[in-house]
Structure 1
Amino acid sequence: MRVSSVAIAATLALASISTSLSGQRPDDQINPKSVELLAQARAARAAGDLERATDLLETAVVVDPRNRAAFVMLAGVADARDLPGKAIRLYREALLLEPNDTAALRGQGEALVRKGAVNQAQQNLAKIKTLCKGTCPDAGALAAVIAKGPPLTTAAATTVPPKPEASN
């Protein structure tokens, strides 16, 4: 009697789990509407309309939060708008979906250098080199940005000449 109730419970659990799993799409099947919005965003970015590209990409991510390409492009647009902090966060979202995406690692590393976090960018470079067995354009591009270093801030770039002393 006890065995049959356990068997029935196990059967019901198995049926409910398999039903919920069969209703989910695999990760490589991105919603077609999200893919369409990504294509429109590419066109808007190519035309120089970063505001429209941002709106389209944000919509693409809402339609399908697994659209890694939309996160990467949205981060690139944020970087182009001189928002490296936002770009770093968006690249992180893409890397949560695919930790071995060398383009996202490179983009995040470049944004980190612009924020002054060169050590973290070097960690990204090391990971890219681990992922790429031979020559890797992403590793070369990130290495060049790291070698160049973070940009000078406006306060550091401008020096105020001393005031001439008044002679009596």
Structure 2
Amino acid sequence: MRYLSVGAAIGLTLLSLSTSLSGQRRDDQVDARSVALFEKGKAARAAGNLAAATDLIETALVVDPRNRAAYLTLAEIARAQNLPGKAIRLYREALTVEPNDVAALQGQGEAMVQKGAVERARENLARIQKLCPKTCAEGTQLAAVIAKGPPIVSAAAQVAKQDAQEKGNN
């Protein structure tokens, strides 16, 4: 009699555990709607419409935040628009989904160099070298970007950029 209540509790626990696990997707399985929106966004990017591409790919991420390829593509768009800070954040999101993504580490490192954070880019290069025991293309490309250094911006260009930002804020 006293084992009946314990057995019933264990049985209900196992039943609820098994039903909750059967309804979940695998971690590496991305929602098909997100993939479809991402493909439309890639097509818009190829057509040169970066605003539409950004909107579609961001919508794909809302549908499924595990779409690592969407983060990478958005980061590439941000770098093309000369927004290295935004690109670094997007690459970090991709690395949250897959910490050993060599392409994300390379892209983030290049964006860091673009922003002037060369030491942090070297940390990414060290991580790539640990992940690729032999020489890999991503590590070689990042090493070349680090060796080249951050872009040189003249004082006149910085003043013009600040003026444009102030006008945008007003």
TM-score range (shorter-chain normalised) is 0.7 to 0.9
1:130, CA displacement in angstroms? 1.0
- In the alignment of these two chains, the number of paired residues is 158
Unpaired runs of 5+ residues, structure 2, are: 159-170
Q: Write out aligned runs for 1:73-92 (5 A).
A: 73-92=73-92
Q: Write out aligned runs for 1:125-164 (5 A).
A: 125-155=125-155
1:119 counterpart SS class: helix
2:136 equivalent to 1:121: no
1:83, CA displacement in angstroms? 1.0
Distance in 2 between residues matched to 1:77 and 1:4, nearest whole Å: 62
Residue of structure 1 in register with 2:62 after alignment: 62
Residue of structure 1 in register with 2:26 after alignment: 26
Q: TM-score, normalised by structure 1?
A: 0.86
Distance in 1 between residues matched to 2:63 and 2:48, nearest whole Å: 24
Residue of structure 1 in register with 2:37 after alignment: 37
Residue of structure 1 in register with 2:48 after alignment: 48
User: Which one has a bigger Cα radius of gyration?
Assistant: 1
1:105 counterpart SS class: helix
1:113, CA displacement in angstroms? 1.1
Distance in 2 between residues matched to 1:2 and 1:113, nearest whole Å: 68
Spell out, residue by residue over 1:32-87, the C-alpha distance to the aligned partner (whole angstroms, 9 max, x if none).
Answer: 11111111111111122111110111011011111110111111111111111111
Please provide the CA RMSD for this pair. 1.8
- Which amino acid letter does the alignment assign opposite residue 43 of structure 1? A
Residue of structure 2 in register with 1:108 after alignment: 108
Residue of structure 1 in register with 2:13 after alignment: 13
1:25, CA displacement in angstroms? 0.8
Structure 1 runs, 4 residues or longer, greater than 4 Å off? none
Q: Percent identity?
A: 64
Bigger helix fraction:
2
Distance in 2 between residues matched to 1:2 and 1:156, nearest whole Å: 84
